[in-house]
Chain A
């Protein structure tokens, strides 16, 4: 378990409200600061904010307005993909872009937490 003094910021990008809120509560319980976005557009806006450094982005793939693939494409186009640690959370892991850590929904939370802890 992480200690409550850990103040790294995790960005959850997830359109499903219940999943998003639960994951947020869990991460906050583990002592992380958490930002959330309901679609890719909001996620990019958060990443662009200079006041908070996002340590890791937990990214859903199927989302309205702007989906997870588009987020990755945009970051790649901006040359920022290497600077952003992305973990895919999806119900369709077989469709996830190659080269990124993927967790299948329903999430195995111990593994997700370990990954977050490893990267942050």
Chain B
């Protein structure tokens, strides 16, 4: 029932995906609103009790099981996106990862595929849209989800709708998958608490820093890093060519 409004939202986003002015690596026309959401997200994340990396927390073995399960339930979606991107290697790797880890790997709680050299090709519909030539659009910060772009957010909505997991396995799989993904999110959040602190607490302008880190890393993953991001500091000091 949610599908129609969601699809309408995606269509509206894509037709309206704003284009960055030439030479600018950050396109943030909604900055004032984004900053309000950032303040909310920051205060929310600071309230979550989390380990400092040294604390007792969960043993790494348990954490790996939780993250492994969440990765496995996301693999069918990644295979579908790989097909839409024409990424044969990614489809084969993720497909075999799903076959091995969901069976021999006991629903992904163990990861025999990686031991066999099948390292996950992480992907999503946002990447599919990028491969299809859709622009990145404006930078957005969304409540609870954090940093994203118009294209990546549209991709998340589509991924939820087209998730092929609903066609395979146990009837309760979607509920388990959601719980697994949330638990994995909590584990990743606690593991990254040092990094989160260093970005959110230690940065002079945590909004601008998170935006810059997210965009650089996202563009790297999509192989769309802008050439002007790598610059020559010697030009201007010793006189460039």
Are A and B genuine complex partners? no
Please list the residues of chain B having a beta carbon within 8 angstroms of any beta carbon in chain A. none
